[in-house]
Amino acid sequence: MASTVKVKRSSVQDKVPLTTDLDLGEIAVNTYDGKMYIKKDDGTASVVEIGAIVENVSSTEADFNARAAENRDKFAGSGSIEWGNHSSYASYPNVNEGLWQVVLAGFENTLLLGINPTDTYRTGDSKTASPVVNVNGSIQHIKDIATTTGRNLLELPAASAVSTLTERQDLVFLETWHEKIADKDIVYPHGSIQSRLATDPSTGLTTVNGSFTGYATYSLFGNWQASSALIGKGLVWSTMTDANKKKFVSGADNNIYLAEDGELVQVRYRIRTVAGLGVDWIGGNLGINPQTAIYAGYGGTTQYLNAKGTETSITADLSAYDSNRAFLSSPLNTDALVKNEAGIFSVDETPYATLAYNGLCFAIPIALVSR
């Protein structure tokens, strides 16, 4: 005779189980609301809802990984698909496709990447106004960093930041990572934690500054910036209605998938800008020739670029080699998480739990800027 297996349940409207009601790995169902719950414990036990939005998640972790593998084959590795357009205005010279500058007071120590799609002076060969990047098979739409106009305003450390140098090259790079939404109770449009959009495109909701512990340093371009110099705007997950959660997770550009443990993960990104120790970044061949890691050298000193990922702050952008944080390149470093793929740097294949979900934290070089 067939057996019927039943999980813990309640038929009381809006009733949510307590942490004491569930063991880890156990599921509870509210049969009135049609919602499912699990218990999580990341040092602090809590109950999270999974039932109301699962059917609208664009992919499970397995689906996401399968599409990522297809993209890696399609684009022959990580890097730019489109670097966006730039401005043709006389006072706004472009550096390269999609990368430009404003030669006016108030824009010192900045670069712009991509442009507002409705800008009168929009020009360039890229099909998209903003950059589109393939990072280990995840497609990232780079928009609204430090602006509300679609373009990205990149801030660099002042040329005088390292007073002992007479010549310096600064590194600009894209850092992406996978992060559980529940960790900070916030989601970001397009996964951009530096976005200043006032309204989320997926839901039409008004965005807010993050208020989680460490929010004032989470979105900074680098350790050289003062706390609160840049705070990204997103949506507080726990305050969203089920209908708006469904809208957000079903937006492909928001890069959300359902992890194997039943929690939602968002692929996020930030632009980081790091002052060089001189002009030597891995022999001056950043991302062109295979190297073991991203590092800076000056006067016999070598310092390695540290990953930040999910963390709200790190001790230093550059430091002595730290096996838990250094960005590695697989062609010459067999410990790198990403194997045999030029142009992308990843952390050690042994996941460092606080950096990213499953250690999925990556760097894509954008530019070296002579100072």
DSSP calls for 165-218: -SS-EEEEEEEEEEEEHHHHTEE-GGGBTTB--SB-TTT-PBPEE--STTHHHH
For the chain, how big is the Rg over CA atoms in Å?
22
Whether the CB-CB separation of 268 and 193 falls below 8 Å is answered with yes
> Which DSSP string corresponds to 25-59?
T-EEEETTTTEEEEEEESSSEEEEE-TTTGGG-S-
Whether the CB-CB separation of 134 and 127 falls below 8 Å is answered with no
CA distance 170 to 150: 24
CA distances (Å), 214 to each of 85, 192, 231, 306, 316, in order?
34, 17, 10, 18, 16
The neighbouring-strand residues paired with 177 are: 268, 361
User: What is the structure's pLDDT at 11?
Assistant: 86
pTM of the complete model: 0.83
Q: Are strands 8-10 and 27-30 parallel, antiparallel or unpaired?
A: parallel
User: What is the structure's pLDDT at 119?
Assistant: 93
Q: What is the dihedral of CA 186, 98, 307, 227, to 10 degrees?
A: -60
Whether the CB-CB separation of 293 and 304 falls below 8 Å is answered with yes
**Whose CA is closest to 318, among 349, 273, 285?**
273
Exposed / middle / buried, residue 250 (Cβ in 10 Å: 0-12, 13-18, 19+): middle
- pLDDT by residue for the chain (371 residues), tens digit each? 455 667 788 888 888 888 888 888 788 888 887 788 888 776 778 887 765 555 556 578 999 999 999 998 898 888 899 989 999 998 899 999 999 999 889 899 999 999 999 999 999 999 999 999 999 999 999 999 998 887 899 999 988 655 555 678 889 999 999 999 999 999 999 999 999 999 999 999 999 998 899 999 999 999 999 999 999 999 999 999 888 998 999 888 999 999 988 889 999 999 999 988 877 776 333 433 334 556 665 556 778 889 999 999 999 998 888 888 888 876 666 777 887 777 788 888 887 778 999 999 999 999 888 87
CA distance 250 to 254: 8
CA distance 114 to 108: 18
Alpha helices in the chain (DSSP H): 61-74, 181-184, 215-218, 242-249
Task: Compute the residue count for the chain.
Answer: 371
Return contacts of 206-215, CB within 8 angstroms, 24+ apart: 207/233, 207/234, 207/235, 208/233, 208/234, 208/235, 208/236, 209/233, 210/184, 210/186, 210/234, 211/236, 212/184, 212/185, 212/186, 212/312, 213/312, 214/311, 214/312, 214/313, 215/312
CA distance 135 to 269: 10
**Whose CA is closest to 259, among 70, 86, 54?**
54
Residue 325 tokens, joined: 């944080």
The DSSP call for residue 77 is S
**Whose CA is closest to 362, among 310, 286, 301?**
310
Whether the CB-CB separation of 53 and 35 falls below 8 Å is answered with no
User: What is the structure's pLDDT at 332?
Assistant: 64
Placement of tokens 């430091």 in the chain: 319
Domain boundaries, the chain: 8-52, 61-276+366-370
Residue 131 tokens, joined: 């950059």
Whether the CB-CB separation of 234 and 195 falls below 8 Å is answered with yes
